[in-house]
Amino acid sequence: MSVNSTLEKICTSLGKNNKPTYVVMAIATVKGICRPLFTMMDKKENPDTKKYTAIREGLTEIIAIPVYWASGEIAGKLANVFAKPKNFMDKTLYKQYKNNMRTPEVVKAFEDAKVLAENNLPKMNKNLMFMGVCGAALFVIPALCSVAIKPIMSKIQKNNSKKSLDINTQQPVERPLNITYNPDFQKGENYKYLNSFYRGTNSGMKVGGV
């Protein structure tokens, strides 16, 4: 099997079974991996700021992935409600059909509506899934992130502040200095003593009573 045929088979399979939820979940996964990595690679940013931002970005996408899936699947199920023959029939004809007035005109209208409903079910399913993930991105995910991430990040900031405070408030260790001040020294027989006080004779005039 050639490379082209294999690639064509993969693309065809993905095209048939693809859903909006899969696309959005794949994007969220890539963002959850790459954005924190790129944030931590920024050498110009403060380390604490990088760490805070990377954790927040990662948590956001971790929350987003299951929400996208759930919102898309729930919205897609609504297609079964809308893709019914009665929604593709004239109201009067459908009322006659429900009342067992099965004239050829009513039966034909119902059969045509049934075919339309079956043909439109996959399209409606995909469209409603897309609307579901859009609604999740606009409303559900921001609300959940506000509720879930804010306490987590506040706790992380509190722990970091506590550690920083503990480091800054540590008392320096006092170490005795083994240095003795001695103003007198002698550097050989030819040198005189140097003293911090005058060693001259006590004879002569005293000034100031000293």
Per residue in 40-63, pLDDT (tens digit) is 999 888 888 898 899 999 999 999
Q: Are 52 and 161 in contact (CB under 8 A)?
A: no
Q: Please, are residues 129 and 21 in contact by the beta-carbon 8 Å criterion? A: yes
Establish if 192 belongs to a structural domain: no
Q: What pLDDT, on a 0 to 100 scale, did the predictor assign at position 5?
A: 80
Q: Is residue 154 part of a domain?
A: yes
In-domain check, residue 147: yes
C-alpha span between 147 and 154 (Å, rounded): 12
Q: What is the pLDDT of residue 206?
A: 47
Domain count, the chain: 1
Task: Please check whether residue 176 lies inside any domain of the structure.
Answer: no
Q: What are phi and psi of 67, to 5 degrees?
A: -70, -40
Asked if the structure places residue 51 within a domain, the reply is yes
In whole angstroms, what is the distance from residue 38 CA to residue 138 CA?
25
What residue type is assigned to position 53 of the chain? T
Is 185 inside a domain boundary?
no
Q: For residue 108, give both structure tokens.
A: 């034909």
Domain extent, residue 40, equals 17-88+122-160
Is 96 a member of any domain?
Answer: no
How many Cα neighbours within 13 Å face the side chain of 10? 7
- Measured CA to CA, the distance from residue 60 to residue 52 in angstroms comes to 12
> Looking at residue 7, what is its pLDDT?
81
* Regions in the chain scoring below 50 on pLDDT: 181, 185, 191, 193-197, 205-210
**pLDDT value of residue 210:** 45
- Report the pLDDT value the prediction gives residue 15, as an integer from 0 to 100: 72
All residues at 6 or more sequence positions from 148 whose CB lies less than 8 Å from its CB, including other chains? 59, 63
Eight-class DSSP state of 140: I
Helix ranges restricted to H, the chain:
3-17, 20-40, 47-77, 79-82, 91-98, 104-135, 141-168
Confirm whether 200 is domain-assigned: no
